[in-house]
Amino acid sequence: MSRKILEVDQLRTSFFTHLGEVQAIRGVSFCLNEGESIGIVGESGSGKSVTSLSIMRLLQHPGKVVGGEIRLHGENLLQYTPQQMRKVRGEKIAMIFQDPMTSMNPVYTIGNQIEEMILEHKNLTKQEARERAVEMLGMVGIPSPEQRLKNYPHEFSGGMRQRAMIAMALSCSPQILIADEPTTALDVTIQAQILRLIKKLNEEMNMSTILITHDLGVVADVCQRILVMYGGLIMEEGTRSQIFYHPRHPYTMGLLKSIPKASDQKQRLIPILGTPPDLLHPPAGCPFCSRCSFAMNICREKQPPYFKDADGHRVMCWLLSEEAPYVEAYEKQKGGVRA
Amino acid sequence: MSGQRLIEAVHLKKYFAKESGFLKKQTQYVKAVDDVSFYIDKKETLGLVGESGCGKSTTGRTLIRLYQPTEGSILYDGVDISHLSTTELMPYRKKMQMIFQDPYASLNARMTVADIIGEPLEIHNLMQGKEKAERIRELLETVGLRASHASRYPHEFSGGQRQRIGIARALAVNPEFIICDEPISALDVSIQAQVVNMLEDLQEQLGLTYLFIAHDLSMVRHISNRVGVMYLGSLVEIADRNELYNHPAHPYTQALLSSIPIADPELTKQKQSIVLEGDVPSPLNPPTGCKFRTRCRYAQQRCAEETPQLVEISPGHCGACHML
């Protein structure tokens, strides 16, 4: 096992709205190893984006981290001053966002924006910064980068803008790249290009990546370890094959069953009934219990702890407790969801 | 499934004029739909896939005359509806309805659910008063909402519920043909399956015909009987769903299918992926000949000179490529 680079410990983030406290993240813990690529999947409102914004300390009012620790190389980022944090962003952790149009400044050229980032963090001259920017644009596969530096964001297509964002994020060689739905706004053929690029950079630069997405197909391709989030909590964590072939949490199973399989026969989809919980009034027990077909009494009353096995697979579900009754339908689904 | 033709597009074209230059003297055309022909049988679902800007939504909208076609004809039950006047078109409007992509933008925020669903009934002078209220209640139940929801406003509903309201509105006038324009793209994965199952049930119960437009290729495979692939305004391939997904003939279809992320790590490793280079060219200035040639692995001299026509390569399977 390689070295831990980032540890998130019992993180809690809330939004203090006029209606009351919305508990977007309710105690999330995970770690990221060096050179590893993890995926966070979940539906909208499950807290996956808020997790990444909390790590970057980019939450805006009324959002606030209310508890827990985020440790980068053992140092708690939550205690950093804004100046120290500025150094971390870009240099140690970089982030790319879903919408490459709104995350770039439309009145500066692409080159300007990449150079600004380099000059901020590195002790380089303008000339050197420009060379570095050309090199980065070339690396992410933008043809004739010297000319392209002089373009404005609107002169780039969606896929190229996302490449330019990646070039900007990587220009100071960060140790961690957080990609928040990097391909959601793009077409499938462009998505394939961007994912191949992220995968290549992850392997070649030994950079750790956190990929946040709602698309299970994307994590199946890119990530080694997967966290499934729901209702502000991590429901299940496991390696790629554990999550896809041996899911234990009813929510993960439900997600996998609700996407169509590539088969010649027309099979009926099995949806997860109901809607996600309202985090303004989070349920006392398991957040998934109102939609879970195996829900027991205890699920409504008490939030389940994590049940772990030796190889790092952890699941927040009472069904894995030793005292839980034997539920045949559940046992049957555990192994054979994809079969 | 082969039955009667319900709707047919014959050499359909839709160009949008873009004026530019001094005093707007230069006019360029965006060929959003460029010579597209296909048919849909009764009670069938035709899926239409392609990247953004390929003209799939414009095709759908032109088909039900939300846009006036530039050229070509639209046959509905054998009648050419491409040049009917607004009044003549009214009975056809009742037969053709649409479900839109964005459940947030497609419902008027100032109308109650009852008003939204009741509006088509009023426009077509179908029902009034008690009868209308009864129909609205019935429609709400059909799409899995409660009758008590009728007096609420759209903002009180979640995305999936709003899409159900949009579906209820489309069903209000008992249509035969519904265009589903990316009906599930804005919804969460677990909600998508709910809506797709409902669309399938409704098709079964009411004998509906669908044109299902989407960019999610695996969902299109799931719901469609036949699938058409569009690229830059042209239909490049059309076939039965299994035929298309198992034996894609056009290089673009092959690349498109290989770039779908599959939620199965083993299959992902096995499949050979064809990653296309570059972007879709601007529709203002599309390449000559075959429009796909700039990104095609097999492009030859001939592709730049001649525009390939849609030819039948096996029964029901047509492709537009010189290689075929």
Q: Do B193 and A338 touch (CB under 8 A)?
A: no
Give the ipTM of the model, two decimals please: 0.80
Q: How many helices (H) and strands (E) does chain B have?
A: 11, 12
Closest CA to B256 of B280, B282, B240, B225: B280
Residue range B224-280, pLDDT digits in tens: 999 999 999 999 999 999 999 999 999 999 999 888 888 888 888 887 778 888 778
Per-residue exposure over A260-292, b if at least 16 CB sit within 10 Å of its own CB, e if not: bbbeeeeeebebbeebbbebeebbebbbbbbbb
Provide the pLDDT for residue B260. Answer: 84
Q: What's the count of helices (H) and strands (E) in chain A, helices before strands?
A: 12, 12
The C-alpha atoms of residue B213 and residue B49 are separated, in whole angstroms, by 6
- pLDDT value of position A188: 84
Q: Is B65:B89 a contact under the CB 8 Å cutoff?
A: yes
Question: To which H or E segment does residue A40 belong?
Answer: strand A37-41
**Helix, strand or coil for residue A315?**
strand
* φ/ψ (deg, to 5) at A154: -70, -15
Taking an 8 Å cut-off on Cβ atoms, the answer to whether A220 and B262 are in contact is yes
Nearest Cα to A45, choosing from A26, A64, A19? A26
Q: Would an 8 Å CB–CB cutoff place B305 in contact with chain A?
A: no
* pLDDT at B2 exceeding the cut of 60: no
Which of A193, A244, A272 shows the shortest C-beta gap to B263? A244
Average pLDDT for B293-308: 91
**B198 contact A CB<8A:** no
Interchain proximity B261–A272, CB inside 8 Å: no
Q: What is the mean pLDDT of residues B35-51?
A: 94
Q: How high is the pLDDT of residue B88?
A: 93
pLDDT for residue B163 is more than 80: yes
pLDDT of residue A26: 94
Q: Please name which of A314, A334, A291 lies closest in space to residue A236, comparing C-alpha atoms.
A: A314
Say whether residue A151 is in contact with chain B using an 8 A CB cutoff: no
Angstrom distances, CA of residue A172 to CA of A35, A164, A207, A268, A326: 17, 14, 12, 49, 53
**Alpha carbon distance A153, A108 (integer Å):** 8
User: In which residue ranges of chain A is pLDDT below 70?
Assistant: 1, 334-339
Contacts of A337 in chain B (CB under 8 A): none
CA atoms within 13 A on the CB side of A51: 38
Mean pLDDT of chain B: 90
pLDDT the model gives residue A261:
80
Instruction: Compute the distance between CA of residue A147 and CA of residue A128 in angstroms, rounded to an integer.
Output: 17
Candidate from B52, B217, B263 with C-beta closest to A220: B263
Pull the structure tokens for residue A311. Answer: 């190889």
Q: What pLDDT is stored for residue A335 in this prediction? A: 58
How much is the pLDDT for B25?
Answer: 75
pLDDT in tens, B72-85: 999 999 999 999 99
Do the beta carbons of residue B197 and residue A271 sit within 8 Å? yes
Cβ atoms B9, B36 nearer than 8 A: yes
Closest chain A residue to the Cα of B197, Cα to Cα: A269
Residue corresponding to tokens 């399989």: A261
Query: Inter-chain contact A187–B190, Cβ cutoff 8 Å?
Result: no
Torsion, Cα of B58, B61, B66, B71 (10° steps): 60
Q: Which of A95, A253, A266 is nearest to A182 (CA)?
A: A95
What span, in angstroms and rounded, lies between the C-alpha atoms of A226 and A38? 6
Distance CA B46, CA B78 (A): 18
Q: Is B242 on the interface with A (CB under 8 A)?
A: yes
Minimal CA separation from B213 to chain A, in Å: 14
Q: pTM for this structure? A: 0.86
Tokens of B66: 């939300």
3-state secondary structure of B179: strand
Across the range B88-110, mean pLDDT stands at 91
Q: Give me the torsion for CA of A26, A32, A38, A43, rounded to 10°.
A: 10
CA angle A165, A166, A169 (to 5 degrees): 85
Interface residue A293 vs chain B (CB under 8 A): no
User: Nearest CA to CA, how far is A122 from chain B (Å)?
Assistant: 32
Residue entry with tokens 């669309």? B199
Percent of chain B with pLDDT over 70: 99
Q: Which pLDDT belongs to residue B180?
A: 95
| Structure-token pair, residue B106 | 């497609």
pLDDT: which is higher, A265 or B100: B100
Mutation pick from B185, B188, B197 vs chain A, by most beta carbons of A within 10 Å, is: B188
Q: Smallest Cα–Cα separation from B214: which of B47, B33, B43, B39? A: B47
When pLDDT is cut at 50, 70 and 90, the band that residue B1 belongs to is very low
Q: Are A159 and A186 in contact (CB under 8 A)?
A: yes
Q: Which pairing describes strands A225-230 and A37-41: parallel, antiparallel, or unpaired?
A: parallel
Q: Percent of chain B, pLDDT > 90?
A: 64
Query: What is the rounded average pLDDT of the residues B289-301?
Result: 91
CB-based contact (8 Å) between B40 and chain A?
no
Closest CA to B289 of B273, B297, B278, B300: B300
CA distance A237 to chain B (A): 16
The predicted pLDDT at position A205 comes to: 84
Name the strands in the sheet holding B71-76, side by side, starting at the edge strand that comes first in the sequence. B26-41, B5-20, B71-76, B79-80
**Alpha-carbon gap, residue A65 to A68, rounded angstroms:** 8
Burial call A214-244: b when 16+ CB within 10 Å, e when fewer: bbbbbbbbbbbbbbbbbbbbbbbbbbbebbb
Show the tokens assigned to A192.
């394939």
Of B161, B189, B218, the CB nearest to A255: B189
Contact A43 B189 (CB under 8 A): yes
Contact A231, A277 (CB under 8 A): yes
Residue B41 forms beta bridges with which residues?
B5
Rounded CA separation B211/B47 (Å): 6
Taking CA atoms, what residue in B is nearest to A291?
A: B190
